[in-house]
Amino acid sequence: MNKIKTIIIDDELLAREIIRTYLSKKNEFELIAEASNGFDGIKLITELKPDLVFLDIQMPKLNGFEMLELIEDPPIIIFTTAFDQYAIKAFEINAVDYLLKPYSEERFFESLERAQKLISSQINHKNDLTQILNSKITSEEYLHRIVVKSGSKINLIDVDNLIYIEAQDDYTMLYTSKGNFLKQKTMKFFEENLNPKDFIRIHRSFIVKIDQIKEMEMFEKESYKVTLANGKKLPVSKSGYSKVKELLN
């Protein structure tokens, strides 16, 4: 059997050293690369196509979940983190494992065994991982930023800079104070994962940042539009009308 090609992605040197030491005791695994941030991690995974990645979640600039969004065909992932609240999002389905720092050598080897089993059934694993990444975030974990890849460029969009979102077939267009960005996510995803205290769906095709709404007016009989702070006018559906009216009262 070929060795399992493995990559470590963690911004902490000590954390990488621990994984490297433990991994060296298992001949079935071959460490082929390491990265200290998500951007380098994406490059390594894309170029080297590992079987297994040890991935930290909380990293500067690009966290582990955001990094995985940008990889079309993710390998088997073992998350390593000091923050147990991420387990809710990552493991609603027990498709991959996570190691809560600090972890023992015994616990590490348990993860390796699970990874070996998953590698033999990668089709199911990839379906599960996709479901995890597209699943609803818990109420305490609403989106704070959105990762958008455009060619070789990666943009990190702060949700505070969002003005509104428009549905465009299987994509959404994000209109921000910094420019417009196309994202391959559904309106349902954003409706569920943006804080409802800050965003409202006014129409099947539009989600708007609440503080950007300046007024609502009748456009035609039983048809309304909202005017945003930048002067943009957007249609309001019947269900959206009652929600906007309540906000403006």
CATH number at residue 82: 3.40.50.2300
Domain termination site, one of 133, 164, 192: 133
Do 58 and 169 fall within a single domain?
no
Do 51 and 159 fall within a single domain?
no
- 139 has a pLDDT exceeding 60: no
CB neighbourhood size of 161 (10 A): 15
Do 26 and 54 fall within a single domain?
yes
In which order are the strands placed within the sheet that holds 162-168?
179-183, 171-176, 162-168, 206-209, 199-203
Give residue-wise pLDDT tens across range 190-210. Answer: 999 999 999 999 999 999 999
Strand partners, 220: 223
Domain termination site, one of 84, 115, 133: 133
The Cα 236–Cα 219 span in angstroms is 10
- 93 has a pLDDT exceeding 50: no
Residue 46 CA: distances (Å) to CA of 19, 92, 124: 21, 26, 21
Quote the pLDDT of residue 95. Answer: 42
Query: Which of these ranges, 70-74, 135-139, 216-220, has the smallest mean pLDDT?
Result: 135-139
Query: Which of these ranges, 38-42, 168-172, 217-221, has the smallest mean pLDDT?
Result: 217-221
Contacts of 10 (CB under 8 A, 6+ apart): 16, 19, 36, 54, 55, 56, 59, 80
The Cα 100–Cα 85 span in angstroms is 10
The Cα 109–Cα 22 span in angstroms is 8
Percent of all residues in the chain with a pLDDT value above 90, rounded to a whole number: 55
Quote the pLDDT of residue 92. Answer: 43
Do 128 and 148 fall within a single domain?
no
Give residue-wise pLDDT tens across range 1-11. Answer: 689 999 999 99
Quote the pLDDT of residue 89. Answer: 58
The Cα 130–Cα 136 span in angstroms is 12
Do 55 and 74 fall within a single domain?
yes
Quote the pLDDT of residue 94. Answer: 41
This model's pTM is above 0.75: no
Q: What CATH number should be reported for the domain holding residue 184?
A: 2.40.50.1020
- 182 has a pLDDT exceeding 80: yes
Quote the pLDDT of residue 219. Answer: 80
The Cα 184–Cα 148 span in angstroms is 9
pLDDT class for 108, splitting at 50, 70, 90?
Answer: very high
Calculate mean pLDDT across residues 66-95.
Answer: 72
What is the count of structural domains for the chain? 2
Calculate mean pLDDT across residues 221-226.
Answer: 86
Percent of all residues in the chain with a pLDDT value above 70, rounded to a whole number: 86
Most confident segment among 70-79, 128-137, 199-208: 199-208
Do 153 and 171 fall within a single domain?
yes
Q: Which domain holds residue 11?
A: 4-133
Contacts of 77 (CB under 8 A, 6+ apart): 52, 53, 55, 68, 96, 129
The Cα 161–Cα 209 span in angstroms is 9
Do 125 and 154 fall within a single domain?
no
